[in-house]
Amino acid sequence: MTEQPINPYAPPPFVEEELVPAQHIGPLQPTEYADIQPVPEQDRGQTYNLTHLIMMNVVGGFPLLLWAGSAILLWRAYAIKDTGPLSYSITFIALGTIGIITGVVIGTWYVYLLEAIYSRWRFRAAVRNRPSSMVNPDEQDVAFIGISLREHWKQIKLDTCHDIGLLQLNQSKSLVLIESDKERFQIPKGSLFLCEPEVFTHPIDPSTEFWLIRLVVQLPDEPREILIGLSHTDFMPRSNAIRKAKSIVSTDYEHEVVATSNHDPII
């Protein structure tokens, strides 16, 4: 019986006492350059655009539709309680109650889940149609990510991401590959300055922590900061502690892949 490959982006086992800060990599002396190139023009920006952002927020508003529909059902059950069949009232009450509970669960424990699933579905479909994609969207070890800019976390926007993409770690070559909607990243281990988890909050919802993986890589002309957020597309309940755990587990896994190079520094 063959062993199943380990998926580094699967939900981590959650134990509150074990949440300790990951060991950071850096600062390092880069020994080679990362390569970041724009996606060919015919494929660039086909997914992450204004239409996608609007649709993503519509999908995210599904709990509101559930609550509104449930309220109508409960009102209808009350309206016919004296004149209509009892079975109708019971059915409306049951469906209304289920709708309210489902909306509360999605809106609290699984916040942003529907938006992430929708975005991943659209972007994976787009990447399948790219003849020169660096990443196979259907492989198990490929993670769907959001790429942020630091200044976006200080603004009120439809989405804090600057781009979305698929990330894969090539262990044999100690290489991080990212195929995004706008750019293609090849990040070898020797191009790293830093690799660490970092937490952000949003002006609209300061109580929710967003844990990102911060990479600082050396390009031929200058260093570049890349803030990577692992999109939660599984049905694990959301909380600040769980988001932190997933970021730390994923950062530690990247540490193993992008360990310090032994070549001579380039700067």
pLDDT at 17 over 50: no
Quote the crossing angle between the two packed helices 113-128 and 50-60, to the nearest 10°: 140
Structure tokens of 47? 């997914």
Among 107, 137, 139, residue whose Cα is nearest residue 119: 137
Classify residue 45 by its DSSP letter.
T
Name which residue leads in pLDDT, 110 or 18: 110
Interval 41-98: pLDDT, tens: 999 988 888 888 788 888 888 888 888 888 888 888 888 877 778 888 888 889 888 8
Interval 111-170: pLDDT, tens: 778 888 899 999 999 999 998 899 999 998 898 999 998 888 777 776 778 899 999 988
Architecture of the domain made up of 16-46+132-257: Roll (2.30)
Q: For residues 59 and 158, is the Cβ–Cβ distance under 8 A?
A: no
Kindly report the CA angle at 167 between 11 and 250, in degrees rounded to 5?
A: 35
Helices assigned H by DSSP within the chain: 50-60, 62-79, 86-108, 113-128, 240-257
Name which residue leads in pLDDT, 248 or 176: 176
Among 185, 47, 61, 208, residue whose Cα is nearest residue 119: 47
Give me the percent of the chain exceeding a pLDDT of 70.
76
Whole-number Å distance between alpha carbons of 91 and 97:
10
In 10 A of CB 78, how many CB atoms?
Answer: 12
Domain boundaries, the chain: 16-46+132-257
Instruction: Kindly list the strands in the beta sheet with 192-200, ordered across the sheet, starting from the edge strand earlier in the chain.
Output: 35-38, 183-188, 175-180, 161-170, 143-148, 223-230, 210-218, 192-200
Name which residue leads in pLDDT, 243 or 196: 196
Structure tokens of 83? 């004149």
Q: For residues 176 and 15, is the Cβ–Cβ distance under 8 A?
A: no
pLDDT at 7 over 60: no
pLDDT of residue 248: 53
pLDDT of residue 5: 53
Quote the crossing angle between the two packed helices 86-108 and 62-79, to the nearest 10°: 160
Interval 35-50: pLDDT, tens: 999 999 999 988 888 8
